[in-house]
Amino acid sequence: MKPHSRRAFLAGAGLAGAARAGDPEAYWRGIRREFEFPEERVPLNAANLCPSPRRVTACLEQFTHEIDRDCSLENRRKFAARLEQTRARLARQIGAGADEVAIVRNTTEANNIINNGLPLRPGDEVVVWDENHPTNHVAWDVRAARFGFTVRRVSTPRRPSGPEELASAFEQALSGRTRVLAVTHVSNVTGVRLPVPWLAEIARRRGIYLHVDGAQTWGALRVNVSELGCDSYSASAHKWFLGPREAGILYVRADRIPQIWPNSVAPGWGDDAETDLKGARKFESLGQRDDARLVALDAAAEFLDGIGWERLQARVLELARRLKEGLVEAGARLVTPMDEALSAGVCVMEVSAAVRQALVAEFYRNHGLAVAASGGLRLCPHIYNTGEHLERAVRAVRKTRSLWSA
Ligand SMILES: Cc1ncc(COP(=O)(O)O)c(C=O)c1O
């Protein structure tokens, strides 16, 4: 049996029958069995961290042991080819060229390569969304303090009427001095999805660099960087991608790569300022890597390929819709739009900051649900979650009404 084929994946998961018989819930129950968390510790916090399927953990363990048994250079030489295999798959999945993808540690590192590496001067301006994660927000302030450019923040309407309104908030903030627009594909605090292709069009017309933090979309949506039209895109494997911890990607469009300085320079770079490394590989000059992790990243990518990106995205959006409808029925007010064009898998309900942590603790202790307090009560279901998990979350919201409605 060819280990990389889709049929092998389905058979391995015992899912071929379910897929053939057109029983989607049976199919997803099979996917849930790929994860080892018990029913008393259900993850509903994909925006922060996801469990990996057993096969990814097994792959990580297998190669970790293999290196521990024989850590010679001879034995590890093969990992150079495995790394390129991983890169090629990741690049294909997002519609990029292999030379445009760097495999880094996480979104944090990728975002900081961009905000540290773009050559900006006094008088230049960077426009950021005020919902950006600190790594794409205060990180710009740190660079501005060093290089003398200015940072301008854009707020978007609390209840956006549509992509036009979101795009226009950014367009109005741009000036003749704006060099960079740095946004987040889907906010981790409101769950709002920005119309990135619209922003790309606006930025391109003005010659502005567009960086997109994709921490909340890689592995949740079918991402295609050409369709997004951005200059760079960052993400972590340990979130929606279901990959190993401390792995991530930085995509940089080919023509932009020479403009961006690397954060670090290590053996393999070359002998002078001009690197020998091809394309985006110059951003992953990071010294000794954990080779086992980089192979396990490929195993996660293969797992998602096996599901299929249309099916994966449809399921993430369906789970989010079902959950949001349940929350509204339970009397909650959503921060996240119901509209799928304006949201993805991150679901946030309004809860005052004072009680959020107590609520998160209550969900964990008494309902076996791991949730978060970012932007309200944040619940992020993923493909390992079942209908029962969603019903349990809605029941927990009903039961804790006295806490959050106060
Ligand atoms: C939008 C966004 N960007 C960046 C990050 C940082 O991710 P990491 O800690 O994996 O680098 C997060 C983490 O939650 C995030 O939500």
In short, whether 48's Cβ falls inside 6 Å of ligand 1 is yes
Question: Residue 228 is encoded by which pair of tokens?
Answer: 């997004």
Q: What is the CATH number of the domain that holds 313?
A: 3.90.1150.10
pLDDT of 279 over the 90 cut: yes
Q: What confidence score (pLDDT) does residue 227 get? A: 98
Q: 396 with 367, same domain?
A: yes
One-letter amino acid of 260: I
Task: For residue 376, tell me if it sits in a domain.
Answer: yes
pLDDT tens digits, one per residue of 266-275? 999 999 999 9
Residue 3 in this model has a pLDDT that exceeds 90 = no
What is the pLDDT at residue 45? 98
Q: Which amino acid is at 218?
A: W
How distant is the alpha carbon of residue 245 from its chain centre?
12
142 plus 291 within the same structural domain: yes
pLDDT bracket for residue 14 (50, 70, 90)? low
Q: Do 215 and 328 sit in the same domain of this protein?
A: no
Q: How far is CA 205 from the centre of its chain?
A: 27
Q: Is the CB of 135 under 6 A from ligand 1?
A: yes
Query: What is the structure's pLDDT at 142?
Result: 98
Residue 18: pLDDT above 80?
no
Q: Which atom of ligand 1 is nearest to the CA of 105?
A: 11
Are 45 and 73 in a shared domain?
no
Please tell me the predicted confidence (pLDDT) of residue 406.
73
Domain containing 74 equals 66-304
**Contact indicator for 247, 294 with CB cutoff of 8 Å:** yes
Structure confidence at residue 4 as a pLDDT band (50, 70, 90) = very low
Nearest CA to ligand 1 atom 14: 48
The answer, yes or no, to whether any atom of ligand 1 lies below 6 A from the CB of 213, is yes
114, 169 Cβ separation under 8 angstroms:
no
Position 57 in a domain: no
Classify residue 403 as left (phi > 0), alpha (psi -120 to 50) or beta: alpha
Indicate if ligand 1 lies below 6 Å from the C-beta of 275: no
What is the pLDDT averaged over residues 199-216?
98
The answer to the question of residue 56 being in a domain is: no
**Does residue 12 register a pLDDT over 50?**
no
In a domain, 61, yes or no: no
Yes or no: say if 51 and 244 are a contact pair by the CB < 8 Å rule. Answer: no
**223 in a domain, yes or no?**
yes
How is residue 211 written in tokens?
């960086």
Decide: 374 in ligand 1 pocket, CB within 6 A. Answer: no
In this predicted structure, what is the pLDDT of residue 158?
A: 92
**What number does the ligand 1 atom closest to the CA of 184 have?**
1
Q: Using one digit for the tens of pLDDT, what is the confidence trace for 330-383?
A: 999 999 999 999 999 999 999 999 999 999 999 999 999 999 999 999 999 999
- 273 and 327 within one domain: no
112 lines ligand 1 (CB under 6 A): no
The domain boundary residue, chosen from 304, 338, 372: 304
Residues 289-321 pLDDT 10s = 999 999 999 999 999 999 999 999 999 999 999
3-state SS, residue 42:
strand
Q: Is 190 in the pocket of ligand 1 (CB under 6 A)?
A: no
- Please tell me if the CB atom of residue 236 comes closer than 6 angstroms to any atom of ligand 1: yes
Average pLDDT over residues 153-172: 97
Task: Kindly state the average pLDDT of the residues 214-243.
Answer: 98
Mean pLDDT rounded to a whole number for the chain: 95
- Where are any strands of DSSP class E within 155-263? 178-184, 209-213, 232-236, 248-252
Q: Which of 130, 138, 140, 188 is the best mutation target for the ligand 1 pocket, counting ligand atoms within 8 Å of the beta carbon and taking the most?
A: 188
Per-residue pLDDT, 102: 98
The total domain count for the chain is: 2
pLDDT higher than threshold 60 for residue 1: no
What is the distance in angstroms between the CA of the first residue and the CA of the last residue of the chain?
58
Domain end among 280, 304, 328: 304
Is the sign of the CA dihedral 298, 300, 303, 308 positive or negative? negative
